[in-house]
Every structure is written in structure tokens, then in C-alpha cells.
Amino acid sequence: MLFSTVLAIWALTAGDARTYRRKDPETGRTLECARCAPGSRLRQHCSSSRQTECSPCGPGMYTEFWNYIPDCLLCDSCAEHQRVVQPCNGIANTVCECEEGFYWEQHFCRRHSVCRPGHGVKTAGTPYSDTVCEACAEGHFSDATKAHAQCVKHRVCQGEEHLLLSGNTHYNSICTTCQQLSNNGTVWTAVFDPALSALQVQQKIDIHRLEQMVIRRLKKPLKQLHKRTAMRRADPSEGLIDRSMMLENSYLSHLAQRMTQNIRRVQQSCNNIERNRSGILHPNPAAL
């Protein structure tokens, strides 16, 4: 097989030569013999009394050039995480490339890199090159729920929409309308969903617990909520709780408090707009 490979390489360097020279063992004369065409191999050298004899390559074998090698070359098989681009056909070897999500490096198909949180795809990976990432600039984000997202601009609230949550490098700005936050804010989870999904992917937080914490806060008067928060901070029994659980609860509590405040702020703005509209439609007779 090594001898055949060396001859095939020599045939490549010989260009498009259709003949080769050899010494006739019977007469000692130097003969100009015809080479075998691509897709075939040498069966018998020419002599002073006969032409070169060739045989076609069998299944799973090939020769790509005019040659005089005694054996056809074995077709390659694609490696792990490769797919066939062009099957071996007798006159050309198998052509392989890395399957989707992988690229060729140092004789292996390696998985494309995934951009870190806050980074987006600058150049998408190909079967021959890895993904190139870049940090998202201010006012841009990369969707943390997608493996190969680009950095895009934050959404700008339009018309009657209110900014419920400013975006960061991990999720988009969230806008909402008064109608979406109707019914005492019970539909807030759908509004916050893009940010919640990103937080779940990045920090593995318990979204269900966070939702319940916000719902409980929304049902309580604002003064009572502040009082209960202060009591929890002063409670010495919390020192008995596992430290990791305390950190998780503290972080969830902070998020829940922030989201509750944002919802209340937008609800207050919506209430003011509604009161102003009512005043226009039903003016106070004493003011007339």
C-alpha cells in the first residue's frame, strides 16, 4: 500500500503525462508505455510485442490520475463527526467535511465554541473554522437562551409601551402596555419571560420560586412588604440556614423585589394615565 501511495504521488507531480518509460526485460530496449487511465490500474507492462494492459478499479477503490501502479487505492472513510460531501467514485477519493456544529482542526472535527454570556457571534463557525466571538457593546445583548446568537441592539419601547426592565448584555429590554399588566399584574410572567429564560440558563435559578415570590409581593401593600423584609433581616434564626441556601434566597429576594418595584412603577403610571383620561371624559362640574 505504501508503494502504491508513493507511485500515486509521483503520478501527481508528473502532471498529465500519458506514458512512462521502462526497460524491456526481453530485449533490453527502453520502451515508451501507455499509462492506465483514472479509474483503472496496471495489469501488465507493455513490451516490444504488446500494449500496456489495465484493469478497472473494484468497488471501494480508485485511481485519480493516469498511472502505472499495480493496485488501486482504497477509498477513505469519513471520521467521527464528518459527513460525506462526495462519495468515492472510482476516479476520485471520498470527500468529507465536518458535520454541522463542528470544524476541522489537527486531524479531528472539533465542536464549535459557544460564546460566553455577554458575548455574541462575530463570525459564524464553518466546517473549516471555529466560531469567532465578540463582547456585546453597550446597548446591545446576546440572547443567552441561544447557543450562537449575535449581539443586537436593545429594543426601544414604542407608542403606548412602558419600559418594564432595562436590557443588559444577556437579555433584551422588556416593554409592556397597560393592558398587559391588567388584572393586578397576574400576567407579568409572560412579559418577563425573555429575561427569566436568560437568567435560568445563565445562573440556574429557580424560576418558579422567583415567580411565586413576585406574586406574593404584588398582593401585599407596599408598607407591609417593607416591614416584613426588615424583620427577615433581623431574624437571628436565619444563621442556622445553610449558607448556600441563604445566598440563593438573598439573590432571589433581590430579583423579586426589583421586578415587583418595576411592575408597581408601571402600574402606577398606567393608573395615572387612566385617571387623566377619566377626567377628560367626565370633567368635575365644580371646575366648570
Full pLDDT tens readout for the chain, 288 residues:
444 455 455 544 454 689 999 998 888 899 999 999 999 999 999 998 899 999 999 999 999 999 999 999 999 999 999 999 999 999 999 999 999 999 999 889 999 999 988 899 999 999 999 999 999 999 999 988 888 899 999 999 998 888 888 888 888 898 888 887 765 444 566 777 778 777 777 767 777 788 788 878 877 764 544 444 444 444 444 444 444 445 556 777 888 888 888 888 888 888 888 888 776 555 555 444
CA distances (Å), origin 37, targets 1, 17, 66: 19, 11, 5
Are 129 and 162 within 8 A, CB to CB? no
Taking CA 184 as the corner, what is the angle to CA 183 and CA 186, rounded to the nearest 5 degrees? 75
Are 45 and 68 within 8 A, CB to CB? yes
Candidates 169, 165, 116; CA nearest to 138 is 169
- Whole-angstrom Cα distance, residue 179 to residue 154? 22
- Whole-angstrom Cα distance, residue 166 to residue 89? 59
pLDDT computed for residue 280 by the predictor: 58
- Whole-angstrom Cα distance, residue 110 to residue 88? 24
Nine cell digits for residue 207: 424560576
List where CATH 2.10.50.10 sits in the chain.
Answer: 2-74
Q: What number of residues does the chain have?
A: 288
pTM above 0.85, yes or no: no
Nine cell digits for residue 46: 507493455
Domain 2-74 CATH class label: mainly beta
How do 40-44 and 53-56 pair as beta strands? antiparallel
